[in-house]
């Protein structure tokens, strides 16, 4: 069984964390007898430097012809002064759009071994924290009309019925296979687009009578995440609110270096990346945490390659490495064994 994988290592620590994840995938391939055929392409700052564009057409073509896309991290201070549509981040937005990736899945899972790293008190966290934010990726103010004048500027927040319906169905399907609780987050007390969002979500909810649907305004949702995060299972929201809430949820777990993500479209093609940035200040120093990227590979196996058992094995191998006391500097605590990026990946491989 062969799969085609587009490989975008990116900038900063991107190459290091991807290389660590590839070691883990190599071990899984041997164990489950399948083959991943990689084609490395460029995006982000390195693509600007070498190709003059944050997203060359070759990269789009290779990604479209693949079963999945692995992405490291994009960006860095050396490209900060470029116009917005020429910066590395613009390449990421365009890649999502070109591949039709509309659903961003961002799990916020607090491993028991890292409870001390959470900024929340143990009594607030409770027993285990496992929240999944389902964020719409192709609409909202990020893609609405943008206007800048001398004395004013505006970005249109737009959602169409098909856009809301399809992201809602993704969230309901996932919730159905978890705790059957879905919280839709909007700002329906103020925004017309949010009132429309809520009405469409309510319509889709009729197809899922087994899933409990709750609604929260985004400001209340932000507060509830730090007051009582255990009440949440799956959170459904738009592009802007999802961008903010998923970052908030991630920090509850103690380290942004631990959290994976998946961006999915209509079929099985997906793009898998850690939620953290390129961390240029530690690039090339073997200090990066590869676990978010490794856990993203588990999501790839689960959602694009339909290999649930292999995905679970990776997640268990990561958990075991934490139980064994291995830590990168970002999740270090007294009495633990600090290791670098490469060594942490090796420990996960050993556990597999």
Instruction: Please determine, for residue 117, whether its predicted confidence score (pLDDT) is greater than 90.
Output: no
Instruction: Please determine, for residue 116, whether its predicted confidence score (pLDDT) is greater than 90.
Output: no
Q: What would the mean pLDDT of 188-211 be, rounded to a whole number? A: 98
Which H or E run includes 78? Answer: none
| CATH level 3 topology of 119-252 | Isopropylmalate Dehydrogenase (3.40.718)
Tell me the pairing of strands 146-148 and 153-155. Answer: antiparallel
Strand partners for 38: 5
Alpha-carbon span 28 to 143, nearest angstrom? 38
Alpha-carbon span 245 to 238, nearest angstrom? 10
Topology agreement, domain 1-101+266-352 and domain 119-252: yes
Instruction: Please state, in angstroms and as integers, the Cα–Cα distance from residue 216 to each residue in 183, 192, 251, 332, 346, following that order.
Output: 7, 15, 20, 35, 43
Domain ranges of the chain: 1-101+266-352, 119-252
Instruction: Round the average pLDDT of the chain to a whole number and report it.
Output: 94
- In sequence order, what are the residues at sequence separation of 6 or more whose Cβ sits closer than 8 angstroms to the Cβ of residue 161? 200
Instruction: Please determine, for residue 256, whether its predicted confidence score (pLDDT) is greater than 90.
Output: no
Instruction: Please determine, for residue 332, whether its predicted confidence score (pLDDT) is greater than 90.
Output: no
- CB hemisphere CA count around 146 (13 angstroms): 7
Alpha-carbon span 40 to 59, nearest angstrom? 9
What is the model's pLDDT at position 331?
86
* Chain-centre distance for alpha carbon 112: 21
- In sequence order, what are the residues at sequence separation of 6 or more whose Cβ sits closer than 8 angstroms to the Cβ of residue 31? 310, 313, 352
Instruction: Please determine, for residue 313, whether its predicted confidence score (pLDDT) is greater than 80.
Output: yes
Q: Name the band, by pLDDT with cuts 50, 70 and 90, for residue 118.
A: confident
Instruction: Please determine, for residue 271, whether its predicted confidence score (pLDDT) is greater than 80.
Output: yes
> Residues for the chain: how many in total?
352
Closest by Cα among 197, 165, 189, 183 to 225: 183
What is the model's pLDDT at position 111?
85
Cβ–Cβ < 8 Å for 250, 256: yes
The reply to whether the predicted model has a pTM over 0.85 is yes
CATH architecture, range 1-101+266-352 = 3-Layer(aba) Sandwich (3.40)
Closest by Cα among 198, 163, 200 to 184: 198
SS3 178: coil
Cβ density class 319-342: b for 16+ within 10 Å, e for less: bbbbeeebbbebbeeeeeeebbbe
Instruction: Please determine, for residue 243, whether its predicted confidence score (pLDDT) is greater than 80.
Output: yes
* Chain-centre distance for alpha carbon 244: 13
Annotated active-site positions, please?
A: 142, 187, 219, 243, 247
Instruction: Please determine, for residue 128, whether its predicted confidence score (pLDDT) is greater than 80.
Output: no
């Amino acid at each position: 069984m062969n799969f085609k994988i587009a490989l975008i290592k990116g900038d900063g620590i991107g190459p290091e964390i991807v290389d660590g994840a590839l070691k883990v995938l190599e071990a899984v391939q041997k164990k489950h007898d399948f083959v991943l055929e990689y084609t490395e392409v460029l995006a982000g700052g390195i693509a600007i430097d070498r190709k003059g564009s944050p997203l060359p057409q070759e990269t789009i073509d290779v990604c479209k012809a693949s079963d999945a896309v692995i992405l490291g991290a994009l960006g860095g201070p050396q490209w900060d002064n470029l116009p917005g549509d020429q910066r590395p981040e613009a390449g990421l937005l365009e890649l999502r759009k070109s591949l039709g990736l509309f659903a961003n899945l961002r799990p916020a899972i607090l491993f028991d071994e890292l409870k001390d790293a959470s900024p929340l008190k143990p009594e607030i966290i409770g027993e285990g924290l496992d929240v999944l934010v389902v964020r719409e990726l192709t609409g909202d103010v990020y893609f609405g009309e943008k206007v800048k004048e001398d004395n004013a500027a505006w970005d249109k927040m737009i959602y169409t019925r098909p856009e809301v319906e399809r992201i809602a169905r993704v969230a309901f399907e996932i919730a159905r296979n978890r705790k059957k609780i879905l919280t839709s987050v909007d700002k329906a007390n103020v925004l017309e687009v949010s009132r429309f969002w809520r009405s469409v979500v309510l319509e889709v909810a009729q197809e899922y009578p087994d899933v409990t649907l709750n609604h929260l305004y985004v400001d209340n949702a932000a507060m509830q995440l730090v007051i009582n995060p255990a009440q949440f299972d799956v959170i459904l929201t738009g592009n802007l609110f999802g961008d903010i809430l998923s970052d908030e949820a991630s920090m509850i777990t103690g380290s942004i270096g631990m959290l994976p993500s998946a961006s999915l479209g209509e079929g099985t093609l997906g793009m898998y990346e850690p939620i953290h940035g390129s961390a240029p200040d530690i690039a090339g120093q073997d200090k990066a945490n590869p676990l978010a990227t490794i856990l993203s590979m588990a999501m790839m196996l689960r959602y694009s390659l339909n290999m649930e058992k292999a995905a679970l094995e990776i997640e268990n191998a990561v958990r075991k490495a934490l139980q064994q006391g291995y830590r990168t500097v970002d999740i270090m605590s007294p009495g633990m064994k600090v290791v670098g990026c490469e060594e942490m990946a090796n420990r996960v491989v050993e556990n597999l």
